[in-house]
Amino acid sequence: MASSSSSSSSTTSTITSKFIGLMLLLSLQLDLLLGSAIHLKNQTSFRPNREIQKLRRVEAYLSKINKPSIKTIHSPDGDVIECVPSHLQPAFDHPQLQGQKPLDSPYRPSKGNETTYEESFNQLWSMSGESCPIGSIPIRKTTKNDVLRANSVRRFGRKLRRPIRRDSSGGGHEHAVVFVNGEQYYGAKASINVWAPRVTDAYEFSLSQIWLISGSFGHDLNTIEAGWQVSPELYGDNYPRFFTYWTTDAYQATGCYNLLCSGFVQTNNKIAIGAAISPRSSYNGRQFDIGLMIWKDPKHGHWWLELGNGLLVGYWPAFLFSHLRSHASMVQFGGEVVNSRSSGAHTGTQMGSGHFADEGFEKAAYFRNLQVVDWDNNLLPLKNLHVLADHPACYDIRQGKNNVWGTYFYYGGPGRNPRCP
């Protein structure tokens, strides 16, 4: 009997131990589940708060940059163009411009020997015959989606921080350019062939432009830039668009594209900076180019922008700059793309027409009638020209000179190809 009682007691103790262990395990699992639920609840409540804060920043920026207008024009490409009174444009939010009005026309440089045959400059928004009244300027309305495509509100409308010149190791930006340096430059002029290159990644761009550059290639770099670009991130489509840019600190905290910050003062009621250009060139077909000139007004010292034959767009006030307050030390012309290698290979984003320079007229993109402005406000041909293609197997350049086009070059390429993997 004693043996039977001892065996029964041992069995009961084992069952009790197992039961307690099971209860502890269930309790632990319950604690873990409750903890996960609380953590998930905190996460889901945090995410909407973060999104709400971001949307509030976006709305605050939009209310600041989108000014009251006296007329609204709807472009066939989906853009909304607002006719904003000139004195209310974003430039006049700058402390040194508040209460002022745009300046009168400057002294233009004396023309050198050149042949021009630009057609009148057209943009899609104005092709219906609509225009902004005298005393106002057309501004492409910035939308919430425009800003949300950027990495942040602070970086919207700005280029990524990078130096102008890069060697073949790249850093993501690739160029095919000609440039002059070693003297003092007070402006530049060229006619730029307009195409609609394919951009294969939403965060890449393809552009063709003039750069006026001064300062070291460190944090004090000053640039003034103008040309055309295809940028899905900035504009939400693949149209070539007329653009401007400036910076005084190597693309860090100052400057922006177009009129997306206080800086460039627009004086023209017919051109919308950032709006699509039409028509564009076609392969083996009709060619279209735009004339651009940037120069320093000898009277007030501001940097003016002219489009085509005598169409003044506006100016960058001299006080925006440090080194460029006096002159440029380098002038650069050509194309630039972003190569993000998002697929693990070289991008297929095109530069220019998407064809190499040796294909020539009606096939490759070109710049023609390249000139610089000297200290006495004269347009002069380029001397001691340098030619640079970061990756000639992807995008190349070929320079020439004749009596009709003066100094010119063909440039561009398809990006990824058997020689550019």
The dihedral over CA atoms of 101, 307, 301, 88, expressed in degrees to the nearest 10, equals: 20
Name the E strands within 92-150. Answer: 136-140
Residue 261: per-residue pLDDT: 95
Per residue, the 3-state secondary structure of 268-331, as one string, reads CCCCCCCCEECCCCCCCCCCCEEEEEEEECCCCCCEEEEECCCEEEEEECHHHCCHHHCCEEEE
Phi, psi of 39 (to 5 degrees): -65, -45
Q: Is the peptide bond before 48 cis (omega within 30 degrees of 0)?
A: no
Residue 121: per-residue pLDDT: 80
Identify the CA nearest to 144 among candidates 81, 261, 53, 61. Answer: 61
Q: 397-403: which pairs have CB atoms within 8 A and are 24 or more residues apart? A: 397/176, 397/177, 397/178, 397/334, 397/357, 398/357, 398/358, 399/178
CA distances from 184 to 89, 333, 375, 377, 410 (A): 32, 16, 7, 12, 26
Positions marked catalytic: 225, 336
What's the distance, CA 201 to chain centroid?
A: 14
Residue 161: per-residue pLDDT: 63
Provide the residue count of the chain.
421
| Per-position pLDDT tens, the chain of length 421 | 434 444 444 444 444 454 444 444 444 444 444 454 444 444 444 567 888 888 899 999 999 999 999 999 999 999 999 999 999 999 999 999 988 888 888 989 987 545 444 556 889 999 888 999 999 999 999 999 999 999 888 889 998 765 444 333 345 899 999 999 999 999 999 999 999 999 999 999 999 999 999 998 778 999 999 999 999 999 999 999 999 999 999 999 999 999 999 999 999 999 999 999 999 999 999 999 999 999 999 999 999 999 998 899 999 999 999 999 999 999 999 999 999 998 899 999 999 999 999 999 999 999 999 999 999 999 999 999 999 999 999 999 999 999 999 999 999 999 999 999 9
Q: Are strands 256-257 and 303-307 parallel, antiparallel or unpaired?
A: unpaired
Spell out the alpha helix ranges (H) of 98-248: 144-148, 232-235
Identify the CA nearest to 419 among candidates 397, 398, 391, 390. Answer: 391
Name the E strands within 148-288. Answer: 173-185, 187-193, 206-214, 222-230, 241-247, 256-257, 265-266
- Give 146's DSSP letter: H
B/e letters for 208-224, b = 16+ CB within 10 Å, e = fewer, are: bbbbbbbbeeeeebbbb
Rg from Cα positions in the chain: 29
- Give 362's DSSP letter: T
> Are 219 and 250 contacting, i.e. CB atoms less than 8 angstroms apart?
yes
